[in-house]
């Protein structure tokens, strides 16, 4: 018999076991279930497959390289600087043409600063003094420009003065032009060269179209009519981000240039194109607060004939542009397809569970269906008494309507 049972065991391995179903001829629940099934199917096909492209393997780890190049000159005529022409090497900081670049649009120049002593700016509360004792020597001025020397410098007749400091003198005066100095930066252009690569699919592309001839690339400007021209007018970028260039040029700010690559690699490579969008990244509503605008200080250092160092301090206001690239590529792959179909079907089980609840507990004849769905069996006292058990099951007294209530 051992041999027989082993063979039987082996053969029974290839018996197909399938759940036994009870057909409940209840149209309400039936229709409900079909509606649930159709909803899941619609979700699976419509959302998972069509909208989310669930049949694709995706790559979001984009490798991107951005090169930016500005073009444009501006002419200014001020009392401090005289007639002066500004070109790219003057107004772009840093000059390297990376994905973050700053265009100077306004500035406060403090020329010929030297390491010596001079009075601190009168606007700084900590430097306010009435006598020399208010200016302890060696103490740094809080939020100021230097270290106090111990003297209080006063104008004739006035009782209030400001401490003398050791600093880069003269100190910067706190007023900026009412009109942006380089307001004509509005007409500057920036050429943004963006190469991307999706390593998983070994797919590379550039935002500069290969089909374009060189003269087109030299004259085109990005707009809705020319969505693939990589040359942008600064004034347009700021306008598309919802701001006024002249206003922004005065105080400075940060503009984000998003480049979005959303590529369906099941289609032709020429269908994979960048989409540009522009937004202001710093909070423009905080206009009156200390946190408005964007500016920084830098200096150019010189040496005079005696080798003494002096510098010109610049407080530069301007617009920082952050080019941010992100993207996603998808390509058909069998594994996510199978997983999505599988989990969609698994969701059907949840739908069935919900309909079961309705059938078994909510409708009028739920007691009847409960009795049909659940077949109660009692274990035999021991294997010897199986016969008695069989009899037990044949008259399932426990399935009386009273007990159904207890379920």
Question: What residues are designated binding site for ATP?
Answer: 69-71, 189, 295-297, 315
62 lies in the site for a copy of itself, by CB under 8 A: no
For a copy of itself, the binding residue among 133, 159, 175, 405 (CB under 8 A) is 405
Is beta strand 74-78 parallel, antiparallel or unpaired with respect to 82-86?
A: antiparallel
Interaction with a copy of itself in 220-239: which residues (CB under 8 A)?
230
For a copy of itself, the binding residue among 254, 263, 265, 329 (CB under 8 A) is 254
For a copy of itself, the binding residue among 177, 183, 256, 336 (CB under 8 A) is 256
For a copy of itself, the binding residue among 109, 128, 147, 220 (CB under 8 A) is 147
Q: According to DSSP H, which parts of 184-244 are helical? A: 214-219, 234-240
Nearer to a copy of itself, 197 or 331 (CB): 197
For a copy of itself, the binding residue among 115, 123, 223, 333 (CB under 8 A) is 115
Report which secondary-structure segment, H or E, holds 28.
helix 27-42
CA distances from 396 to 221, 388, 391, 401, 407 (A): 85, 13, 9, 12, 15
Binding site residue list: 69-71, 189, 295-297, 315
359 lies in the site for a copy of itself, by CB under 8 A: yes
Is beta strand 189-198 parallel, antiparallel or unpaired with respect to 203-206?
A: antiparallel
Q: C-alpha 345: how far from its chain's center?
A: 34
For a copy of itself, the binding residue among 57, 64, 154, 176 (CB under 8 A) is 64
What region, left, alpha or beta, does residue 53 occupy, with left being phi > 0 and alpha being psi -120 to 50 degrees?
left
Beta carbons of 374 and 361 less than 8 angstroms apart: no
Cα-Cα-Cα-Cα torsion 382, 384, 386, 389, nearest 10 degrees, comes to -60
404 lies in the site for a copy of itself, by CB under 8 A: yes
Is beta strand 231-233 parallel, antiparallel or unpaired with respect to 274-280?
A: unpaired
3 lies in the site for a copy of itself, by CB under 8 A: no
CB of 79 to a copy of itself, least distance (A): 16
133 lies in the site for a copy of itself, by CB under 8 A: no
Give, as one character, the DSSP assignment of residue 141. Answer: P
CB of 11 to a copy of itself, least distance (A): 8
380 lies in the site for a copy of itself, by CB under 8 A: yes
Nearer to a copy of itself, 156 or 395 (CB): 395
CA distances from 253 to 152, 250, 265, 295, 319 (A): 38, 9, 37, 8, 5
206 lies in the site for a copy of itself, by CB under 8 A: yes
CB of 161 to a copy of itself, least distance (A): 20
403 lies in the site for a copy of itself, by CB under 8 A: yes
Closest alpha carbon to 90 in 78, 77, 74? 74
């Amino acid at each position: 018999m051992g041999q027989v049972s082993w063979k039987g065991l082996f053969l029974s391995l290839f018996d197909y076991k399938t759940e036994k179903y009870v057909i409940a001829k209840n149209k309400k629940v039936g229709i409900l279930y079909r509606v649930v099934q159709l909803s899941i199917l619609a979700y699976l096909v419509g959302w998972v497959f069509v909208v989310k492209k669930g049949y694709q393997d995706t790559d979001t780890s984009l490798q991107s390289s951005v090169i930016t190049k500005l073009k444009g000159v501006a002419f200014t005529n001020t009392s401090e600087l005289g007639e002066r022409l500004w070109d790219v090497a003057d107004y772009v900081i840093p000059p390297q043409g990376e994905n973050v670049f700053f265009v100077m649009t306004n500035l406060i120049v403090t020329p010929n600063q030297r390491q010596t002593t001079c009075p601190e700016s009168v606007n700084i509360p900590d430097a306010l003094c009435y006598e020399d004792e208010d200016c302890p020597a060696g103490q740094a001025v809080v939020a100021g420009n230097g270290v106090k020397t111990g003297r209080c410098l006063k104008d004739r007749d006035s009782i209030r003065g400001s401490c003398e400091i050791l600093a880069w003198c003269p100190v910067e005066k706190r007023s900026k032009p009412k009109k942006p100095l380089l307001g004509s930066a509005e007409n500057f252009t920036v050429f943004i060269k963006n190469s991307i690569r999706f390593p998983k699919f070994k797919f590379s592309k550039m935002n500069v179209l290969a089909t374009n001839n060189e003269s087109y690339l030299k004259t085109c400007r990005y707009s809705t009519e020319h969505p693939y021209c990589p040359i942008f007018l600064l004034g347009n970028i700021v306008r598309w981000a919802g701001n006024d260039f002249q206003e922004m040029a005065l105080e400075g700010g940060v503009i984000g240039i998003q480049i979005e690559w959303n590529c369906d690699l099941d289609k032709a490579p020429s269908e994979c194109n960048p989409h540009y969008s522009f937004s202001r990244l710093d909070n423009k509503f905080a206009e009156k607060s200390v946190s408005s605008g964007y500016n920084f200080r830098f200096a150019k250092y010189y040496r005079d004939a005696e080798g003494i160092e002096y510098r010109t301090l610049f407080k530069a206001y301007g617009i920082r542009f952050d080019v941010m690239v992100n993207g996603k590529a998808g390509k058909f792959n069998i594994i996510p397809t199978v997983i999505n179909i599988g989990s969609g079907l698994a969701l059907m089980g949840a739908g069935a569970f919900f309909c079961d609840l309705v059938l078994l507990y909510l409708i009028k004849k739920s007691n009847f269906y409960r009795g049909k769905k659940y077949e109660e069996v009692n274990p035999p006292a021991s294997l010897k008494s199986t016969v008695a058990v069989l009899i037990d099951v044949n008259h399932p007294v426990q399935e009386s309507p009273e007990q159904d209530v207890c379920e």
